[in-house]
Amino acid sequence: MTRRNIALIPAAGTGTRFGAGKPKQYVEINGKTVLQHTIDIFENHPAIDLIAVIVSPEDQTFQTTPSSKTRVFRVGGASRAETVRNGVSALLAQGLAAEQDNILVHDAARCCLPPEALTRLIEEAGGKEQGGILAIPVADTLKRADGKNHIGETVSRAGLWQAQTPQLFQTTLLHRALSAEDLSDITDEASAVEKLGVQPLLVQGDTRNLKLTLPQDEYIVRLLLQVV
């Protein structure tokens, strides 16, 4: 069975923490928007068959370089989970995704994903029913606060991983995981899949796969884009 690899990029967020006066995916770095840098990662990877960019219906900003590989869907929702769900539904409705295809959901603001990390995820999780995500083992010491910004306890980092994206799941599994009416407690696709009793694989990620979240991240991203 030949499975196609479909990158799905939810890009309907407002990015309020970044504080740039515009959604962070539209901040320009090194001559291109963050979102275009992200799209280019998948455009240039030979294993990716289709790129689905999910934007808000009201979005008047999005522009991309014309490509037969990239499709835009204006079905973004109120949350990331809703946006991804709507995107998967649109792919199915238009016959662009088969049940066993791999959907790779990737943050629009992770524009420094190394191609070798993407390859590793596809090779290690692409044929697995439970899917998998890029992640890195937690390296820093973790402290739990007591509610007054005092240290309540030191948390063991043994077995703890920091989730990244892409997160890869077969179309049917992802669609089923996001079919619940209430998605308010879903922070990523893996957490939705976990609610079905499925245990996705953890695939070694990369520290360069940084998510642009705060203003100070921009400097690091600018440097990374010169070398990734």
Full-model pTM: 0.94
What is the distance of C-alpha 126 from the center of its chain? 16
Computed over every residue of the chain, the mean pLDDT equals 94
Find the domain containing 44 and state its range: 5-133+163-226
153 is a domain residue: no
CA dist., res. 169 & res. 126, Å (int): 8
CA angle 107, 105, 50 (to 5 degrees): 110
75 is a domain residue: yes
Contact (Cβ atoms closer than 8 angstroms) between residue 168 and residue 131: yes
CA dist., res. 53 & res. 55, Å (int): 6
Q: What is the rounded (10 degree) CA torsion for 46, 105, 132, 143?
A: 130
Q: pLDDT by residue (tens digit) across 168-202?
A: 999 999 999 999 888 989 999 999 999 999 999 99
CATH number of the domain residue 18 falls in = 3.90.550.10
The domain tally of the chain equals 1
150 is a domain residue: no
76 is a domain residue: yes
Residue 109, sorted as left (phi over 0), alpha (psi -120 to 50) or beta, turns out to be alpha
What pLDDT, on a 0 to 100 scale, did the predictor assign at position 41? 98
144 is a domain residue: no
127 is a domain residue: yes
What pLDDT, on a 0 to 100 scale, did the predictor assign at position 17? 52
60: helix, coil or strand? coil
Q: How many CB atoms lie within 10 A of CB 149?
A: 6
54 is a domain residue: yes
